């Protein structure tokens, strides 16, 4: 049977494809734009028929019918990483979250540590060899394809066909739903004076020929905007966005000086504009790979001069980063922050930056605190943190004593809080 005949035999309506889901299934959905809106809408329609179903995903971009506290016994969301759509439910307690480093998630799925019964994913049109590309999220989804009982693809002509390790053959697919829903676009976050100041400090320290990992958020993007004058930068990151694309367009990123995978930008998912998605399409200079490749510290650190730039919500005077919760209140997730901090530390000539504004709540609260509030999830260990940057400067922590760390962090806190932090540090025997 030809690939085209196999394709035609597997085409279903969205409602028919959603019937592949059984009670107690875990459905794996790709990160962000890789979520299939037509399929998830059809599943939402039958949510009251099901029981014990979980939909596992990083960073959902839309609220579907199953984002409903009244139907959590039927279908509920499992957040690998929270976003605006899933954060309220997690904070109210009816959305669950999973604790793990992004690099470990594919292997956890392959080994059955975290289940993957069904895959729902956006995909490109099939090529002449019978392959679809999951061009918006190889992430953990490729591992789930290997494990799942049913693989259901929402095939959309606007999804690019990427190079890399993100391809699924028609013989692996259970059902196909054809869709022309426009791809969601995510713009660059607003950047103000604080973000610009932080970006300036980091940009000054990044050398030509460095390879970049840029985390999610406004401050990492502010750094990117100030790197356009650099030369021969490379990309090995988890998220490919429009900020990094702008560096390619300005000639700052060439990937030619990468000693590992030279000439190629490497990522595990893409999140941005239609322009970004067009850039990805059949571009041999860009590849998507699963997160156990992109984020593995032992693999990523093969890039010399690897620079990781990630944001945190708060940091204490010991250097512990609380990047995913405010006290016990969940906010985001672990993601790949710890992965890339460790990778940059291992890299020859590497640099790891944790970035944050000095205050929150319009200046009423210091983000540099004596100790993290009880219940705060420590995302990045004090043993791994190196450079910490606020709008007031850079604190270098690695290799420093606890007292030296505390003094360095107080020096980059907002001036309004330095005396108070010094007094609190004294009580902790840190000054």
Q: Give the residue numbers marked as catalytic.
A: 238
Local structure of 81: helix, strand or coil: strand
Which residues contact residue 268 at a Cβ distance below 8 angstroms, ignoring those fewer than 6 apart? 31, 102, 137, 138, 139, 238, 239, 288, 289, 290, 291, 293, 294, 295
Cα 156 vs. chain centroid, distance in angstroms? 23
Distance CA 112, CA 65 (A): 28
- DSSP per residue, 394-419: EEE-TT--HHHHHHHHHHTS-HHHHH
Distance CA 176, CA 10 (A): 6
Could you tell me if residue 327 is left (phi over 0), alpha (psi between -120 and 50 degrees) or otherwise beta? Answer: left
Read off the DSSP letter of residue 324: S
Q: CA neighbours within 13 Å on the CB side: how many for 398?
A: 16
Q: Which of 92, 121, 107 is nearest to 32 (CA)?
A: 121
Q: Is the dihedral of CA 314, 318, 321, 326 positive or negative?
A: negative
Sheet of 351-355, strands arranged across: 234-235, 211-214, 306-311, 351-355, 387-390, 393-396
Q: Which of 326, 297, 308, 274 is nearest to 82 (CA)?
A: 326
Whether 248 contacts 277, CB under 8 Å: no
Residue entry with tokens 């990630």: 310
- Give the alpha-carbon dihedral of 137, 139, 142, 144, to 10 degrees: -110
Q: CA neighbours within 13 Å on the CB side: how many for 294?
A: 37
Token output for 371: 């100790």
């Amino acid at each position: 049977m030809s690939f085209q005949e196999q394709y035609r035999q597997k085409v279903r309506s969205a409602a028919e494809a959603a019937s592949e889901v059984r009670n107690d299934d875990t459905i794996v959905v790709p990160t962000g734009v890789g979520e299939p809106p037509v399929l998830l809408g059809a599943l939402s329609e039958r949510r009251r028929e099901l029981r014990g179903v979980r939909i596992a995903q990083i960073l959902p971009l839309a609220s579907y019918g199953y984002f409903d506290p009244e139907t959590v016994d039927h279908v509920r969301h499992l957040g690998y990483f929270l976003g605006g759509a899933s954060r309220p439910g997690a904070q109210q307690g009816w959305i669950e979250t999973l604790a793990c480093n992004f690099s470990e998630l594919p292997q956890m799925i392959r080994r059955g540590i975290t289940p993957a019964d069904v895959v729902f994913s956006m995909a490109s049109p099939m090529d002449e060899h019978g392959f679809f590309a999951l061009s918006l999220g190889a992430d953990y989804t490729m591992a789930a394809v290997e494990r799942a009982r049913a693989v259901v693809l929402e095939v959309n002509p606007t999804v690019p066909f990427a190079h890399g390790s993100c391809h699924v053959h028609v013989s692996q697919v259970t059902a196909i739903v054809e869709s022309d829903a426009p791809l969601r676009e995510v713009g660059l976050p607003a950047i103000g004076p604080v973000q610009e100041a932080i970006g300036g400090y980091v940009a000054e320290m990044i050398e030509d020929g460095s390879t970049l990992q840029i985390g999610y958020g406004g401050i990492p993007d502010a750094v990117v905007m100030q790197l356009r004058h650099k030369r021969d930068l490379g990309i090995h990151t988890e998220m490919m966005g429009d900020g990094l694309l702008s560096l390619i367009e300005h000639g700052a990123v060439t990937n030619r000086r990468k000693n590992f995978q030279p000439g190629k930008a490497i990522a595990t998912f893409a999140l941005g504009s239609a322009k970004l998605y067009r850039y990805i399409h059949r571009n041999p200079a860009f590849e998507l790979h699963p997160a156990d490749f992109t984020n593995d510290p032992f693999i990523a650190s093969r890039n010399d001069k690897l620079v990781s730039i990630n944001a945190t919500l708060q940091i204490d005077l010991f250097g512990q980063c609380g990047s995913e919760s405010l006290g016990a209140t969940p906010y985001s997730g672990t993601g790949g922050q710890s992965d890339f901090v460790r990778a940059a530390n291992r890299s020859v000539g590497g640099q790891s930056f944790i970035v944050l504004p000095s205050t929150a709540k319009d200046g009423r609260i210091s983000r540099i605190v004596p100790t993290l509030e009880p219940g705060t999830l420590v995302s990045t260990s004090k043993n791994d943190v190196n450079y910490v940057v606020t709008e007031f400067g850079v604190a270098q922590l690695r290799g420093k004593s606890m007292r030296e760390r505390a003094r360095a962090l107080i020096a980059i806190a907002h001036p309004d809080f330095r005396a108070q932090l010094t007094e609190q540090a004294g009580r902790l025997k840190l000054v």
